Structure 1
Amino acid sequence: MQKIILFLLVLFSQTIFSAAKITETEKLVATCKVWGFLKYYHPKVASGQLDWDKQLLEKLPKIEKAETKEDFSLILENWIDELGPIKEVTPIAASKEVEYFDKNFDLSWFNNSQVFSKKLSQKLKFIEQNRFQGDQFYVYGLDRVGNVGMRNENRAHPDFTNKYSKLRMVFMFWNLAEYFFPYKYLMDQKWDTTLVEIIPLAIQADNQADFYTVMRKFASKLDDSHTEVYVYPNATAPSPKPSNYFPASAKIIDEKLVVTEILADSLAQADDIKVGDVITKVNGKTIKEAIAEKRGLLSASNEAKFLDKIAPSLLVTKADTVKVEFLKNGKYITKTMIWHDYHDSHRNEFKKGARKKKEKFKLLDDNIGYVDMGILTGKNVPDMIELLKDTKAIVFDLRNYPKGTIDDIANFISPKENKFAIYTVPDLNHPGRYKWGDGTSCGTENKDHYKGKVVVLVNEETQSHAEWSAMAFRSTGNATIIGSQTSGADGNISVFDFEGFRTLFSGIGVYYPDKGETQRIGIVPDIEIKPTIKGIQEGRDEVLDRALFFIEAGDLKTGATTNPKVNLKEIPSLKN
């Protein structure tokens, strides 16, 4: 009798379990994963033989009606069967010469018994083992560099009143990053969790503005400084009101906005705006409150770059007037300002004399050279070398985006060839997996290389090619890096491009030759120094000042000095 009761209890519990309800979000998350997996893995889908978007839009209403795991799984099983048989080709031999990087690769979701039947899990595994081998229909590997580009996609605005149309775009973006974003493993939040959060928000957003705000939140979760979002209106929509701008640029320091450069001098003079002015509120909102509002809408690899991205967004408006609170001489002063669209080309009358002309390279006092890497071009390098070759030190300023001059400079400063970076690139024959690619070297055998000190300046504006250049400088063994945390985003960009929405992300992984990471960390300076409000108000470049201290004082880490005139006690303390 006890055995019969036990048998009935087991049978009853199995029946209850098998009939367990499945939520809408669970179904849609699982559908997103299956649809994306088949898009890149199923031979018939990945080769472009089917209208895969159309199939998704046809299946979603049926999936919506499924109430249990069994019903849901059966729909997906039948969908896979409808695609036709798959030729068994296992095992697909991996090249013995390939070294894989698998921190991103995870198809364990196949075995999620909460939403998938055992039969469906087996079908998915079989498809992976007999996956498509050939030119992917929806993505292609960019020549030489390895990151992917989108192709053969319907890039029109979704129908913002149709949840299936919106979900198609959500599914597309999630899967593109799932399989082809090399730093997925470094996100603060698991990409699966982000999908769970975004799907309900996307369904609720029933107009362009709200939906693309959801997509901004989505993209922000990449935690990648390369990720910028561009939103464009429908062609039928009225032209948007032009933006108006504060007449200067500014930097966030200590939760305040500090004016760093005048961009429109006549406008700045009219409102008595000067470099070093401290802004504490814009339209009644503190800078701290504005920072909090922007979290979740902007993507950045680290806090330094996040603040750098926020600052310009606080200095633009569609409004006719703006109330700005300043802190001057210990007193808070509120001004009602009219900002202007001086960024327009026909507004040059506002900008006469505002920006000082920059020099590509020059001699500073005490026989020290200075090079602005943001404006130095390849054709300028020979003249730069000729002028600065006999200096005791050269400061290379990388607080900008350089113009591809690092190879020629490395040949000048390095005594030998040095490997400075290696890469991970996506394996399009096994999407989601990455391969270690070739490395890059700089410098050449050169007995007559530059013998003076080399100093490189960096900050949060040092991003991508600039960070890559800093890695090259460091590999020469003759460079000291001074400044603050860099952007932490390197690797050629991939693009998710729609008619009304465009965003970017790092497309290949960039590492030191020992496989040390740079993403999110950035280039760690040998000597850390950040600008201060006081320094900006005094008109000083504190990062350059620290570099000049270093050059004159010798080895600040040990206390040794090559210049007896330098008093080490007067030099600000160093973290390193």
Structure 2
Amino acid sequence: MKKITLFLFIVFSQAIFSSTKITETEKLTATCKVWGFLKYYHPFVAGGKTNWDEQLLEKLPKIEKAQTKEEFSLILENWIDELGPVKEIAPIPEPKDVKFFDKNFDLSWINNDKVFSKKLSKKLKFIEENRFQGKQFYVEGSEHVENVNLINERYDDPNFEDKNSKLRMIFMYWNVVEYFFPFKYLMRQKWDETLMQTLPAVIKAENYTDFYTAMKKMVSKIDDSHTEFFMYKSSIGEGNGRFFPAKGKIIDEKIVVTEIVGDSVAEAYNIKIGDVITKINDKTIKELISENRDLICASNEAAYLDKLVRIVLVNTNDNVKVEFLKDGKYETKDMIWFDYHESHRNEFKKGVMKKKDKFKLLDDNIGYVDMGIIKSRNIPAMIEALKNTKAIVLDMRNYPLGTFREISNFLNSQEKEFAIYTRPYYEYPGKFIWDGSTKSGSENKDNYKGKVIVLLNEKSVSQSEWTAMCFQAAGNTTIIGSQTAGADGNVSQFDFKGFHTLFSGIGVYYPDGRETQRIGIIPDIEVKPTIKGIKEGKDEVLDRALVFIETGK
């Protein structure tokens, strides 16, 4: 009798535990993925024949009640069935003359047996193989470049008292990145893990600031220097704060003043180029570096520090306590920071804004070009003035004004390919294809024969990096400076009701397939400014370029 009782207990226990428990985060992560997948793959949804947001809001209460994998999967199975039958068109022929770039593509989650039944996985796989073919209802490619644009999306603010309203917005944004951000494969943290980390914070968010702070932390994990996140109703004061009267650079966990932008304010507080800031409102620069990591999106450390210094030199309060290190002694100043326009208006009246040379001749017959201010109409004069120099320094520690073609025609003796691209493939969302290339230069026997030096640093981003690639194709170019921002290619922008954000929209590579994303343009000679050099008024990067021109080393 005891044996029979034990046997029945074991059978009964197995029956009870054969259903797999599933957590709320697991359910919501899986729901986000399925909802996004169907949005771009199911013919009925991707074709725009249903209000997909409303359907999500209707299903989420049912999903919340599901306790097991089986219950959860059944809800999703029925949801798919309710959409109507998917016509079998597989195998879908691959287009001719198209080369796929698949590093970004991953639908392996479809077979996750921890959260999906075999029947559900089979349904999802069938939809992939018989996916929507036609013009996508929710996304389209930008003209010429083909990076993603959102269309027919709801941009209303979430209801913070309604958990599902908040989830809808996160689901929508996460899937845009999942399927259409070209460098997802280069993120330090898997995008799936970012979603799982974000969901609990979104659910807990009780107001606008909490919600968008949670979202900002998610966006920071994209690891793309193009990516910014602006909250229209933010209490943080981005773009609306009070400004320190100078620009700075973080060196050795300190902020060094590099440029005075409000002379009268700087003069009142005796602030000079080379001054070292060690604390702002009692927080060390090291502490500020640490506590902002989850709020700033950057491809690499150099770009992160550059973005950070711009943020910490803005404050929502008029009065800011700043600690300086001067001559080995710490000195604290209670400063009044001013509105940006206010602090600059006086400087314009005084006429103290210095006029910069677009190009000039340095000592020893060396040409210098400021790529941040020279325009196409200035190039003929620049060429005439500098064509007989022994070297030209192209200073691109800034953002150039589209002069790459005219300058590369001057530098190159023949036409050369310098960049190739990937773009989203909307017929198979998540996949990218190699699509086109760009060439620089032209047949020119009178091309420039001297040395070409390009100066770069963390402020060299996007067009700066792409232009550097263009100039490298000349063959006589040397890159001097430090790591660039590591974000190239056209930008996809998303303007929601509550926020504005963007990310790199296409992939940019050297002709041999080497990446520039996150890495940036690697200098041939690495030089970084020092606190001592800045204090002494030196341009150590330019000085190193002049040494190289003279010695070849």
TM-score (norm 1): 0.92
Tell me which residue corresponds to 1:313.
Answer: 311
Aligned to 1:128: 128
Aligned positions of 1:422-441 closer than 5 A: 422-441=420-439
Residues 240, 357 of structure 1: alpha-carbon distance in 2 compared, 3 angstrom cutoff: closer
Residues 41-75 of structure 1: CA deviation (Å, up to 9, x unaligned):
01110111111000001110110011111111111
Tell me, what secondary structure is at the counterpart of 1:306? helix
In structure 2, C-alpha distance between the alignment counterparts of 1:45 and 1:440, rounded to whole Å: 36
Aligned partner of 1:40: which letter? Y
SS of equivalent residue, structure 2 residue 257: strand
Offset, 1:443 = 0.6
Structure-2 residue corresponding to 1:283: 281
1:302 pairs with 269, 293, 300, which one?
300
* Residue from 397, 400, 404 that aligns with 2:398: 400
User: What is the identity, as a one-letter code, of the residue corresponding to 1:65?
Assistant: K
Query: What is the 5 A alignment of 1:126-205?
Result: 126-205=126-205
CA separation in 1, counterparts of 2:134 and 2:14?
43
**In 2, distance between residues paired with 1:67 and 1:478?**
66
CA contact under 8 A between 2:418 and 2:470: conserved in structure 1? Answer: yes
1:196-251 CA distance string (max 9 Å, x none): 000001000110011110111010000000011110029xx9x9995111110111
Deviation of residue 363 (structure 1)? 1.0
SS of 2:364 mapped into structure 1? helix
- C-alpha distance 487-241 of structure 1, shift in aligned 2 (>3 A): closer
Alpha-carbon shift at residue 96 of structure 1 (Å): 3.4
Deviation readout 1:94-147 (Å, 9 max, x if unpaired): 023111111111111111111111111011001011111111111100122121
* Amino acid paired to 1:267: V
1:410-453 Cα shifts (integer Å, max 9, x gaps): 11011111111111111100000111111111011111101111
2:239, 2:181 → 1: CA distance?
35
Q: 1:496 offset after TM fit, Å?
A: 2.8
Paired residues of 2:262 and 2:344 also in contact (CA < 8 A): no
**Amino acid aligned to 1:435:** I
Look up the match of 1:562: none
Does the CA contact (< 8 Å) of 1:265 and 1:353 recur in 2? no
2:207 partner letter: N
Q: Secondary structure at the match of 1:550?
A: helix
Alignment of 1:383-398 (within 5 A): 383-398=381-396
The residue aligned with 1:348 is 345
* Aligned-pair CA distance for 1:495: 2.0
For 1:120-178, what per-residue CA distance to the aligned partner results, in whole angstroms no more than 9, with x for missing partners? 10110010111111111111001221210111111111112211111011101110000
Partner amino acid for 1:161? E
Are 1:258 and 2:256 matched, yes or no?
A: yes
- Whichever residue aligns with residue 298 of structure 1, its letter is I
Correspondence for 1:454: 452
In the alignment, structure 1 segments of 5+ residues that lack a partner are: 557-576
* Distance across 2 between alignment mates of 1:142 and 1:536: 43
Determine helix, strand or coil for the equivalent of 1:437. strand
In the TM superposition, what is the alpha-carbon distance from 1:497 to its structure 2 partner?
2.3
The reply on whether 1:224 has 2:224 as its aligned counterpart is yes
Q: Aligned-pair distance for 1:353?
A: 4.6
1:539 aligns with 2:537: yes
Number of the residue aligned with 2:84: 84
Aligned residue for 2:72? 72
After superposing the two structures, state which structure 1 stretch, 240-249 or 126-135, moved more.
240-249
Letter in 2 for 1:185: Y
The equivalent of 1:567 in structure 2 is: none
Residue of structure 1 in register with 2:417 after alignment: 419
CA distance in structure 2 between the aligned counterparts of 1:112 and 1:102, rounded to whole angstroms = 20
Distance in 2 (CA, whole Å) between partners of 1:486 and 1:102 is: 26
Identify the residue that residue 527 of structure 1 maps to in structure 2. 525
CA contact (8 A) 1:262 1:274 kept: yes
Shift, 1:8, TM fit? 7.5
Q: CA deviation at 1:478?
A: 1.1
Corresponding residue of 1:560: none
1:514 positional shift = 0.6
With over 3 angstroms needed to count, the CA separation of the structure-2 counterparts of 1:327 and 1:426, relative to structure 1, is: same
SS at match of 2:76: helix
Q: Is the 8 A contact 2:261 2:344 kept in 1?
A: no
2:266 maps to which residue? 268
Q: Tell me the distance in 2 between the aligned counterparts of 1:200 and 1:460.
A: 35
Does 1:358 pair with 2:346?
no
**1:332 and 2:335 matched:** no
Against the structure 1 CA distance between its residues 242 and 426, is the aligned structure 2 distance closer, same or farther, given a 3 Å change threshold? closer
- Of 495, 499, 508, the residue aligned with 1:501 is 499
Q: Deviating runs (4+, > 4 A) in structure 1?
A: 4-14, 239-242
Structure 1 pair 413/334, CA: closer, same or farther in 2 (3 Å)?
Answer: same
The alpha-carbon deviation at position 36 of structure 1 amounts to 0.2
Q: Percent identity?
A: 66
SS in 2 for 1:439: strand
1:319-360 CA distances to partner (integer Å, 9 max, x unpaired)? 12111110111110001110110335x951145455422111
Residues of 1 paired with 2:231 and 2:239: CA distance? 14
Counterpart of 1:348 in structure 2: which amino acid? Answer: R
The change in CA–CA distance for 1:12 and 1:508 in structure 2 (over 3 A counts) is farther
Amino acid at match of 2:504: S
Code of the residue aligned with 2:188 in structure 1: it is D
> Which residue is equivalent to 1:463?
461
| Structure 2 counterpart of 1:68, one-letter code | T
- After superposition, the Cα gap between the structure-2 partners of 1:526 and 1:291, relative to the gap in structure 1 and judged at 3 Å, is same
Instruction: Give the direction of change, closer, same or farther, for the CA distance of 1:8–1:507 in structure 2 (3 Å limit).
Output: farther
SS at match of 2:436: coil
Q: SS state of the match for residue 212, structure 1?
A: helix
Structure 2: segments with no counterpart, 5+ residues: none
Instruction: Give the conservation status (yes or no) of the 8 Å contact 1:264–1:354.
Output: no
| Equivalent residues of 1:263, 1:354 under 8 A apart | no
